[in-house]
Structures are given as C-alpha cells and as structure tokens.
Amino acid sequence: MENPFVYGEVIPASAFVDREDELDRLTNDLLAGQKVFLISPRRYGKSSLVRQALSAAVRRRAVAVDVTVSSYSSYVGFLEGYARALLVAEARPDSLRGWIRDLLGPLRPELRIDPGSRPSISFPTVRTARDAARLAEAIFALPARIAELRRKRLVVALDEFQAINGFDGHDVEHALRAAIQHQRQVGYVFSGSEPSLMERMLARSRPFYKAGPVMRLQKIPADRFASFVNERFTRTGFKPDAGLGAAIVELAGNLPYDVQRLAHEVWDDGRAAGRRMVGVEDLHATLRRLLNEHDAIFEAAWQRLTLPQRAALRAVVLEDGRELLSGDVRARHRLSGPSSVQTSLAALVRDDFVAREHARYVVVDSLLREWVARRTY
C-alpha cells in the first residue's frame, strides 16, 4: 500500500491536513479578485495551501497560474517565465504562436517549442533597464487582457514573492501594484516564507501598503494533526499506539513538513519490518536512523558556524528558545553579553537555522534540533 504521508513536495489533497477555513477564505478571495498576501514561516505548508486553493478555483472554472519568483536569477528571466505561464495556461498548443503575436507582438518575443518540453518565451531585444521596465508594464497587464479576451476569471499565485526585492527593488513593486490595482477579474496571492521581508513590503512607505487582505498562516492544531497521523496509520493496515500521533507531532515541533517526514519514515520502517503495530519505541528507532543518515550534513553545517553561533544554537535548543538574553541562560551556556548573543541569533535567523516564533526562537529543522541536543556539547 502506498505511504499516506508526503513531504518534500506539494502535498496532494489526500495528505492535506486541516486548513479548511484558510482554504475557503483564500479560494473565495481569489475568485473575488482580491490581492491576498500570504505570510508563513518555512515548513508550514504554505505552497500546499496555495495549490489547493488554485485547484479549487479551477473547479469553479477559473484559469490558474502559478509562478515561483525565487526560481529566476534575473528580472527579465522572471518576466519571461511569468509570460510563459500566463500564455500557456490558457492558449491551446496549436494557437500559441498566434496568441503570443496578438498579445505581445510589439515586444518581438521569440517562442521555442521543443518536442517533449515546455514552450519557452524570450525577449532578446530587452537589453537595458528601460527595456525591462517597458517589458514589465506589458507582462503585468497580461492577466487582465487574458481574462477579458477569454471571459474567465484568472487566479495568479506568485510564490516566494519576497524574492522580487533582488531584482529591481521598489521599482518592481511600483510597476506591479500599478497594474494589479485595476484588475478586478484577476485574483492574486503573493505568498512568502520570509515573514520579516514580507511584513516590510506591506509597510506604510511601500507600494503594497493596504493593497489587499493579509493572511498569516499559523500551525495546525496539535490534536488535529495527531488524529490525522493515527488515522492514516490505521487506514493503511497498522495498529498505532494511542500516543503515537501526539509523539510524532511533538517531536517534529508541530511543523507540517517535519510531521509528514517523520510519520512517512516511521511508516516505511514499520512496513519494511513487517509490523502490524507501531508505537513510540518504533518512532525513536526511526529517529535514530534519520540522525545517523543526516550526521554528515549536520556536522558540516555545525562546522560552518562560529563558536558564538554554536553556543547560541545550543541555547535555543536546550532552553526552548526562551529568555536567551537573561543572565542565568547566558551563564549556563557560557554565552557572551546580550549584544553578542543578539548578533549570533540574527546570523542564525538569516541563514535559516532558527526562526522567530512569537516570543521565542525555534530551530527550523526538527531533526537538526535533535542532532544538536544529542551530539553537541
């Protein structure tokens, strides 16, 4: 039987947990032409939620477009990828050339269609910043033109949206805001997994200030997640101990990615061993295996940290991320003064080792947290 737990990719509907309210709200806002800003730390299931909303919109006869901004290494590359996604989503393959000529003819695009691969669109005449600005104006206007010509609603997802800051700064924000504010037939979700950057993009001095509703994704309720885990084990032929789901959720820090990963691996180990019953002892055996498999990776990451950063990371793990600047905690872990600890924590946040969660710091990867707790001193 197929493993019911999925991680490392966008979660399919069969493995999607909770989020009913968020999904309904996001889907309805998109179909109403709202411009939604979805802010979520990494591993919370942001991309899976967006994909489920797009699928729901398509079932209601909308056209969905999904682009990951951080996949592109240049502004023009992003514009070309965005144009391709918009045009391919609605044009039939046999009419793609004519569709592009009608919508983008003055920009002299080049279309390449290779057998077995996706079509690609390029704009070789774009060479200067002014050329790129003109191209952006045309591309950002495309969704409204397509919606009008096809008489359908469009829903557009721009994932890892904070990455546009690496292209052309606030000029991109101004150009995109100027285009979308008049597109009532097009719903947008601008999602990002770097909350601090996304929050700054929505500040009073920035173009997207009050541009649309803001959704801040929270963790799935632990008891709901634990019930889901137990139910999936039961459905696929196992008899889980009553506390297995809760133990997996707790050990994984209630992070959707980490919960699915740990449950997936416990399921695989149980099936490989021919077990019908799985419990907390099996969970810890799987955890030991995963830590051994990741040992070289975590050791290399640990060695890249400075000594003050290592000490700060251990303090985050052992103190549950709380009161890290207090005298008692600093003395217990031989940390330097508060300003030095703050510098180390800022570096750990920047490099995606830890994240701020309300009034505490948390290690982003629950396996790394366990490795630090068990194998460092």
Residue type, position 19, single letter: R
* 3-class DSSP assignment, residue 298: helix
Secondary structure letter of residue 203 according to DSSP: S
Would you give the end-to-end CA distance of the chain in angstroms?
42
Let me know: does 29 contact 207? Beta carbons within 8 Å. Answer: no
pLDDT, tens digit, for every residue of 68-127? 999 999 999 999 999 989 888 876 666 677 777 778 878 888 878 776 667 788 888 888
What global pTM score does this model have?
0.84
C-alpha closest to that of 85 among 47, 112, 119: 119
Report the pLDDT averaged over residues 170-183.
90
The helix or strand, by DSSP H or E, that contains position 64, with its residue range, turns out to be strand 63-68
Q: What digits encode the pLDDT tens for the residues 135-146?
A: 999 999 999 988
DSSP 12: P
Q: For position 61, what pLDDT does the model report?
A: 93
**For residue 39, is pLDDT > 80?**
yes
Q: Which domains does the chain have, with CATH numbers?
A: 19-216 (3.40.50.300), 222-293 (1.10.8), 303-375 (1.10.10.10)
| Cβ(187)–Cβ(34) below 8 Å | yes
What type of residue is 28?
A: N
- pLDDT tens for 242-292 read 899 999 999 999 999 999 999 999 999 999 999 999 999 999 999 999 999
Going by DSSP bridges, is the β-strand pair 186-192/35-39 parallel, antiparallel, or unpaired?
A: parallel
Q: What is the pLDDT of residue 42?
A: 83
Residue-wise pLDDT for 125-134, tens only, equals 888 888 889 8
Tens digits of residue pLDDT in 263-273: 999 999 999 99
**Confidence at residue 297, expressed as pLDDT on a 0 to 100 scale:** 97
Check residues 166 and 284 and name the one with the higher pLDDT: 284
